[in-house]
Amino acid sequence: MERQIIDAVNQGIVLIDQQYRIVGWNRWMEIHSGITSQDIANSNLFEKYPNLDNSTFVRSCKSVFKFGNYIFFSQKLHNYLFPFESIGAYTTRHNMMQQRCTIAPIRSDEEITNIVITVQDVTESVYLENELKMMSQSDSLTGISNRRFFDSRISEEFSRCARSHKALSLLLFDIDDFKRINDNYGHQYGDIILKEIARICATIVRECDIVARYGGEEFCIVLPDANLIGAESFAERLRRAVESVRVRYKDGGHISVTISLGIAEYTEKMRDEFELIANADTAMYEAKTKGKNCVSCFSAEAK
């Protein structure tokens, strides 16, 4: 009866003795490990799963044996204890099953003779949590980061620079005469252009850079460890890449666009990130007044 109950539980149950021999292995563990309880019985846990032979896990087991406490292994810190492959749709993001595990004492006549490890598959909940997080941080049209994510990251980067005194530049740009494009060709083609520009940005930025849709036809790129000279070189490369874009129109023609870009660099005199954003916005407005399709750098003297 007891074995039937343990096998019916929808989570892994492993019993080990004080020599770390496996004395219990339920049906759930058999299915996901591919090892039957008969084949693994009395095997040393660390011989079967050498990844568990680490100071954290061993120390936890010793603590349970000695004090009879309960130990919790969170997925966020450890991902998993037992290296089981994930199954279903979640393999695209997690090739290994994400697990939430506990270690608890088993007593016999007040003496702790064994400990039980429970293994819960939380891959689905972790997958959905990540999906929701990505949705909350991504612009639904272009797929790049949204304004909310940008606001949090620019604050983090500004604080980092204030501490480390490293370079930081911010680039703001918008699409020239975007209203005319929507009026002449329709919002469908306006959306296509927005997505194409987001794609171009994503292909030329570094891994550490942050690309976001700031609002409407405005975009921003945070460039950590980039001074004004480096940012200006990057901005000019981006301007040329956008200028060369040709979006095919339904009558066989093409739609081309340009962008106006403003750049500001972090200085130690700045009060907060909002001043950096305001400076980049001022530089972008200056690029507009110069005739559009150009790059302008913020200058405190010209302010």
Which residues are annotated as catalytic?
A: 217
Amino acid of residue 73: F
Amino acid of residue 272: D
Distances (CA, A) of 86 to 9, 14, 26, 80, 96: 19, 19, 19, 11, 5
The tokens describing 40, both together, are: 């693994």
Q: Decide if 274 contacts 210 (C-beta within 8 A).
A: no
What are the phi and psi torsion angles at 164 (to 5°)?
A: -95, -15
Count of CB atoms within 10 A of residue 271's CB? 8
Amino acid of residue 84: F
Q: Decide if 29 contacts 13 (C-beta within 8 A).
A: yes
Question: Tokens 């049209």 label which residue?
Answer: 141
The tokens describing 274, both together, are: 């909002």
Count of CB atoms within 10 A of residue 234's CB? 22
The whole-angstrom distance between residue 170's C-alpha and the CA centroid of its chain comes to 21
What are the phi and psi torsion angles at 54 (to 5°)?
A: -130, 165
Q: Decide if 115 contacts 21 (C-beta within 8 A).
A: no
The tokens describing 212, both together, are: 């976001």
The tokens describing 184, both together, are: 């002449």
Question: Tokens 């559009």 label which residue?
Answer: 292
